[in-house]
Structures are given as structure tokens and as C-alpha cells.
């Protein structure tokens, strides 16, 4: 028995039943990165529900089509629920989708990475988590074995960050309001995993126009250092050459 073809867009939409087609599940996962104890660290939670109950995983969850207006909003909501803050930098990295990554069946996940200053974060357990913590990144991974394909997703994000560090100003988002150039350089070096020439770094950063001096000094070490801040509302800066 053939259904009659609707004659207008309106008629088509009135008769459309989305539930007739089998769909993959759709989720968002976020790799939240910070610098803590001179290490790049990723935020992970211990799952309190099946599947992978009691295993560590990235922060994430299904899109709730009744609550979320957009994909990015889903990411921002999750991020806020776990860290209590709005990330100064959030980038969509990749979407993976296949039949095997989730034992419950065909699923896709859009992966974001967020950078934020450690001092600003106050971790919150939220629902579905038995524990939450920062795990130091070593190379492309983390000591804890992660659920699903989350180890892969983390690796992709770390890769993306490392490839961008050499021509962008992304590491400033790992610092709070004021920071010294030495501190910023240290952050670059931690991510790159190797030292940078101080002079090249100073030249580059000061010429970029994204930083401005404050009147304050950091008095921790020996000679006090000038504190800088990101110029009001500056986007990430893209340099025309690579450093390091």
C-alpha cells in the first residue's frame, strides 16, 4: 500500500514523523584543559552509571533536544555544570560517528576542547559522576584508562592544541586576567614540550598587539616582572610564522 505523496511543503511537514527513521545517538564530549603543577591536565570524571560504570571518561552527554537549542549550547552547558565557569576558549575539534564506539549502538559525538585557567575552576560533581579530577597529560594520553573511544578523542584534541600553539596565542586562555611573559612562555613550553628562545618569544608577543601592560608587577621571583593582560576582547591571534 503506497502512501500518497504530499502536494506541498506544509502538507509534507504536517505528516512527517521523525520517529520512523532509526537514528544514531548524538552526544557532545568536551576535553577541558588547564595548566596545573606545570603540567597540561585534562578534566575527567568517574562514571556512576552504565555503560562503563566506575570508569574514567571525558565530560559529555547526550544532546537533549528539549533543553538544548544548539550543539554549542550543549557543550557550554556541560562545561559550566562541571567547572562552574564559562571557558574563555572553546573550539569544536571533530565529530566521530560509528557503530562500535558505544556498546549501546550507532552513536556520534561532537568533541570540543576548552582552555581555562586553573585558579578559576571549582570542580562540581553533578549528576552521573562518582568522582571528578584533573589528570596530567603525558604525550598524547593520560594515565587513566578512559571509557568509550575517549582516549582517541583526547589525543585528537591534544594534537590540535599542539599544532596550533606554534602559530597562535591560544595559551593566553590558560592564564587568568594578569600574567607575566615568563609565565606565558612557560605555558607555551609545557604544551610544546620543549624550550623556546626567550628573546624570540618576547619579540613575537609584544609585536602581536594582543597584550597590554598593566601597572602592576609580579613580585614572586627575584626581579619583579611586568604583568600583562589580554587587550579588551581580542580574539585569538594568528601569527604568520611558526615558533619553536
Partner DNA sequence: ACAATAGTGTCTCTCAGACAGTATTAT
Partner DNA sequence: ATAATACTGTCTGAGAGACACTATTGT
Q: Which residues bind DNA (CB under 7 A)?
A: 180-182, 196-200, 202-204, 207, 217-219, 221-226, 239-244
Task: For the chain, state the CA radius of gyration.
Answer: 22
**Minimum CB–partner distance for residue 117 and a copy of itself (Å):** 27
| Neighbouring-strand partners of residue 33 | 42, 115
State the minimum distance, in angstroms, from the CB of residue 116 to a copy of itself: 22
- Say whether residue 20 binds a copy of itself (CB under 8 A): no
Residues 95 to 114 in contact with a copy of itself, rule: CB under 8 A: 95-99, 103-106, 108, 110
- Closest to 235 in 3D by CA, of 168, 177, 182, 175: 168
Which CA distances in Å does 11 have to 3, 6, 15, 144, 174?
13, 6, 6, 53, 52
Instruction: Say how many CA atoms lie within 13 Å of 77 toward its Cβ.
Output: 15
Count of residues that bind a copy of itself according to CB under 8 A? 41
Residue 224: contacted member of a copy of itself, DNA, none (CB under 5 to 8 Å, by partner type):
DNA
- Minimum distance, C-beta of residue 238 to DNA, in the bound complex (Å): 11
Q: Which stretch binds a copy of itself (CB under 8 A): 20-28, 33-41, 128-136, 201-209?
A: 20-28
Task: Choose the one of a copy of itself, DNA, none that binds residue 212, judging by a C-beta under 5 to 8 angstroms depending on kind.
Answer: none
Is there binding between residue 69 and a copy of itself (CB under 8 A)?
A: yes
For 66, residues 6+ apart whose C-beta sits below 8 A from its C-beta are none
d(CA 102, CA 25): 9
Give the separation between CA 106 and CA 109, rounded to whole angstroms.
Answer: 10
Q: Which residue in the block uniquely carries the three cell numbers 570542580?
A: 123
By CB under 8 A, name the binding residues for a copy of itself. Answer: 6, 9, 12-13, 16, 18-19, 21-26, 50-53, 62-63, 65-66, 69-71, 74, 92, 94-99, 103-106, 108, 110, 240-242
Amino acid at each position: 500500500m503506497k502512501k500518497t505523496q504530499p502536494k506541498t511543503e506544509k502538507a509534507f511537514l504536517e505528516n512527517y514523523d521523525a520517529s520512523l527513521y532509526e537514528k544514531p545517538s548524538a552526544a557532545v564530549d568536551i576535553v577541558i584543559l588547564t595548566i596545573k603543577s606545570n603540567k597540561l591536565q585534562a578534566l575527567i570524571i568517574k562514571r556512576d552509571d552504565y555503560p562503563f560504570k566506575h570508569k574514567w571518561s571525558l565530560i559529555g552527554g547526550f544532546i537533549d533536544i528539549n533543553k538544548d537549542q544548539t550543539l554549542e549550547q550543549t557543550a557550554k552547558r556541560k562545561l559550566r555544570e562541571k567547572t562552574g565557569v564559562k571557558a574563555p576558549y572553546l573550539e569544536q575539534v571533530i565529530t566521530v560517528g560509528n557503530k562500535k564506539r558505544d556498546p549501546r549502538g550507532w552513536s556520534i559525538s561532537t568533541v570540543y576542547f576548552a582552555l581555562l585557567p586553573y585558579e578559576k575552576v571549582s570542580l562540581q560533581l553533578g549528576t552521573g559522576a562518582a568522582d571528578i579530577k584533573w589528570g596530567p597529560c603525558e604525550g598524547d594520553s593520560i594515565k587513566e584508562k578512559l571509557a568509550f573511544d575517549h582516549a582517541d578523542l583526547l589525543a585528537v584534541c591534544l594534537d590540535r592544541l599542539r599544532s596550533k600553539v606554534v602559530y597562535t596565542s591560544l595559551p593566553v586562555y590558560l592564564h587568568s586576567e594578569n600574567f607575566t611573559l615568563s609565565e606565558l612562555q612557560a605555558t607555551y613550553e609545557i604544551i610544546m614540550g620543549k624550550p623556546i628562545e626567550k628573546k624570540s618569544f618576547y619579540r613575537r608577543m609584544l609585536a602581536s598587539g594582543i597584550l597590554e601592560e598593566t601597572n602592576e608587577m609580579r613580585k614572586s621571583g627575584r626581579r619583579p616582572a611586568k604583568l600583562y593582560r589580554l587587550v579588551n576582547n581580542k580574539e585569538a591571534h594568528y601569527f604568520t610564522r611558526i615558533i619553536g
